[in-house]
Chains A and B, each alone.
Chain A
Amino acid sequence: MNDLRDLYQEVILDHSRNPRNAGRLADPSGTAKGHNPLCGDLITLDVRVEDGTIRDVSFDAKGCAISVATASIMSGMLKGKSLAEVHDLFQRFQDMLTGPTTAAEGLDKLEVLAGVREFPMRVKCATLPFHTLRAALDNESGTVQTE
């Protein structure tokens, strides 16, 4: 149960039950859908970027606790960040989950997801919101998939 408690911390369960920034934006500059066909996670994410800075982000997620909590925590950290800072954040997040060391520097509230590292089958659940965010920033059409 110890590993499971690391994975499903209260903070994660709380975010998955009450996701912050849930819903859709009225005036997004980019929108993308993300789909994890393996488990059916589905996320639609809107983002509004002005002058190279994220002003607002909102999402609608149907999925497992890990994907919804990641989307919720991530969305709370994006406002005011430059695109370069967002890219850096994604890189650090991926490193925390799959990199050679467990360093979680500069990840702030996302550090609570470090336990996902011990569950390789679930890494895609945690990275799906970031992949979707990147697609929305690129305003790519279609759906990004983790498979």
Chain B
Amino acid sequence: MNAPAGQNPEILAARADFPLLARPMHGRPLAFLDSAASAQKPHVVLDSLRDFYESEYANVHRGVYLLSAQATDRYEAARETVRRFLNASRPEEIVFTRGATEAINLVAESLGRSGRFQPDDEIVLTVLEHHSNIVPWQLMRDATGMRIRAAAADAAGNVDADAVFREVSDRTRLIAFSHVSNTTGTILPAREICHRARERGILTLVDGCQAVPHAAVDVQDLACDFYTFSGHKLYGPSGIGALYGRHDLLASLPPWQGGGSMIEEVTFERTTYAPPPARYEAGTPNIAGAVGLAAAIDYVLRFGSEAIRRHEDAVLKYGVDRLDSLDEVRLIGTPDERAGSISFVVDGVHPHDVGTVLDTEGVAVRVGHHCAQPAMRHFDVPATIRASLGIYTHVADFDALADGLGKVRELFRP
């Protein structure tokens, strides 16, 4: 196939910024198509970690000495970088977490303890959710007596706002959904869902893990109450992520973990809590992780989220068309709007066997249920193969995938 139009030369050159991608795999060039699980890291992120540890590291918010003050400045500057990235109105609305999973657990735990919800109140999720946006709400349900409803997807894997609001009732208090599905790549109409929810006084949490690497996000424009993403899928270190929470909510909810840094005054009778974001950051945080995440965001913003979206759209469309042209491949999910991921199965061959063959061809894909078992049931498959892209993905990676699938065909020919 011909190289698609719309590719950006500057972004095509970005591949050279990622040292790991130069590593041969089983004697072949690595075609890394698993960025939705975790993305590779550019030099600038790796350098930021080393530089910070070598010349600026100390604990934050504690020491009176210069080093601690500087480390605190770097940590808080990282918070400001995240604020700017999500266009939150103030830095206190950004809480650093271990990742999106921890952020969703934080919200579920704090909301659950807040006394805002009654038994029989309802949470609406979607059938496409990652387990990390299901199980924390089940824990909250078990603690509060709430009910969980799941909005359906259509056969192509679309979830429109009407499908979500079909599950909404007078008892609905919260809608939690992925901005982009980690399985089908479906882009959900987050803005419409959040605006309609706000009109009805329903809280929203948006899991943006698969969205922020591929498109610009503006939490004020979305009108969401909570938004979260993981740093490691955005070319940052693992073990760091961020939660955006509307300030009045963060200022009124109870903490979810206790420890140092999150208090105002502690006696054995009672403790008063610090205002956000400190209230939700008990203990020494992942300081270097925050610095590395800020470096990753700066890196992405150098190209611009909008430029990345246009470029990746061209590469992703090439991948979809290439896979769709193979007779034995069946796409799982053909959403109207897609970012990041393509799921598919190969007729007559289990995804796990496909994954092993592709690996020996230097092609790294994810096989399995992608932590989205309800979505697998929706499409009536036990597992899929998922190819997902990042800023460094070239159409040649999809060519390698297609060639690898030719090997699968050869090997498993009846």
Residues of A within 8 A of B356 (CB): 4, 7, 119, 121-122
CB of B351 closer than 8 Å to a CB of A? yes
CB of B352 closer than 8 Å to a CB of A? yes
A65–B412 CA distance with the chains assembled, in angstroms: 10
Size of interface on B: residues with Cβ below 8 Å to A:
19
Given the known inter-chain contacts A1-B407, A62-B382, please indicate yes or no for A8 contacting B412, CB distance below 8 A: yes
Which of chain A's residues 1-17 have a Cβ closer than 8 Å to chain B? Answer: 1, 3-5, 7-8, 13, 17
Residues of A within 8 A of B360 (CB): 1, 3-4
- Interface digits, B355-374 against A, CB 8 Å rule (1 contact, 0 not)? 11100100000011100000
Residues of A within 8 A of B1 (CB): none
Name the residue on B nearest A14 (C-beta). B414
- Interface digits, A112-128 against B, CB 8 Å rule (1 contact, 0 not)? 00000001011001000
Secondary structure of the B contact surface, majority rule: helix
CB of B353 closer than 8 Å to a CB of A? yes
CB distance from A101 to the nearest CB of B (A): 24
Given the known inter-chain contacts A3-B360, A38-B368, A40-B368, please indicate yes or no for A125 contacting B352, CB distance below 8 A: yes
Given the known inter-chain contacts A3-B360, A62-B382, please indicate yes or no for A39 contacting B352, CB distance below 8 A: yes
Among B350, B368, B382, chain A packs the most CB atoms within 10 A around the CB of B350
CB distance from B61 to the nearest CB of A (A): 39
A100–B411 CA distance with the chains assembled, in angstroms: 30
CB distance from B361 to the nearest CB of A (A): 9
A4–B382 CA distance with the chains assembled, in angstroms: 24
Residues of A within 8 A of B412 (CB): 8, 13, 65
CB of A66 closer than 8 Å to a CB of B? yes
Residues of A within 8 A of B350 (CB): 39, 63-65
A37–B368 CA distance with the chains assembled, in angstroms: 8
CB distance from A118 to the nearest CB of B (A): 10
Residues of B within 8 A of A8 (CB): 353, 411-412
Which of chain A's residues 53-112 have a Cβ closer than 8 Å to chain B? Answer: 62-66
- Interface digits, A19-39 against B, CB 8 Å rule (1 contact, 0 not)? 000000000000000000111
Given the known inter-chain contacts A1-B407, A13-B412, please indicate yes or no for A64 contacting B368, CB distance below 8 A: no
CB distance from A107 to the nearest CB of B (A): 22
B414 to A39, Cβ gap below 8 A?
no
A119–B353 CA distance with the chains assembled, in angstroms: 11
A39 to B367, Cβ gap below 8 A?
yes
A39 to B411, Cβ gap below 8 A?
no
CB of A42 closer than 8 Å to a CB of B? yes
CB distance from B298 to the nearest CB of A (A): 36
B407 to A39, Cβ gap below 8 A?
no
A40 to B411, Cβ gap below 8 A?
no
CB distance from B209 to the nearest CB of A (A): 21
Among A40, A62, A63, A125, chain B packs the most CB atoms within 10 A around the CB of A40
CB distance from B187 to the nearest CB of A (A): 26
Residues of A within 8 A of B351 (CB): 39-40, 64
Residues of A within 8 A of B367 (CB): 39
A64 to B353, Cβ gap below 8 A?
yes
CB of B383 closer than 8 Å to a CB of A? yes
Given the known inter-chain contacts A4-B360, A13-B412, A39-B368, please indicate yes or no for A65 contacting B353, CB distance below 8 A: yes
CB distance from B131 to the nearest CB of A (A): 11
B352 to A41, Cβ gap below 8 A?
yes
Residues of A within 8 A of B376 (CB): 40
A122–B356 CA distance with the chains assembled, in angstroms: 8
B411 to A42, Cβ gap below 8 A?
no
Residues of B within 8 A of A39 (CB): 350-352, 355, 367-368, 383
Name the residue on B nearest A66 (C-beta). B353
CB distance from A108 to the nearest CB of B (A): 24
- Interface digits, B388-414 against A, CB 8 Å rule (1 contact, 0 not)? 000000000000000000010001101
A64–B407 CA distance with the chains assembled, in angstroms: 17
A3–B355 CA distance with the chains assembled, in angstroms: 15
A143–B367 CA distance with the chains assembled, in angstroms: 22
A7–B412 CA distance with the chains assembled, in angstroms: 12
Which of chain B's residues 178-224 have a Cβ closer than 8 Å to chain A? Answer: none
Name the residue on B nearest A39 (C-beta). B352
B369 to A40, Cβ gap below 8 A?
yes
A122–B368 CA distance with the chains assembled, in angstroms: 13
Name the residue on A nearest B384 (C-beta). A40
Residues of B within 8 A of A40 (CB): 351-352, 368-369, 376, 382-383
CB distance from A141 to the nearest CB of B (A): 22
Which of chain B's residues 53-108 have a Cβ closer than 8 Å to chain A? Answer: none
Which of chain B's residues 323-359 have a Cβ closer than 8 Å to chain A? Answer: 349-353, 355-357
A64 to B357, Cβ gap below 8 A?
no
Q: Beyond A4-B411, A40-B352: 4 further Cβ-contacts under 8 Å?
A: A1-B360, A4-B356, A39-B352, A39-B355
Task: List, sorted by A's number, 7 A–B pairs whose CB atoms are closer than 8 Å.
Answer: A4-B360, A39-B368, A40-B368, A64-B353, A65-B350, A66-B353, A121-B356
CB-based closest 3 A-B pairs = A39-B352, A64-B352, A64-B350
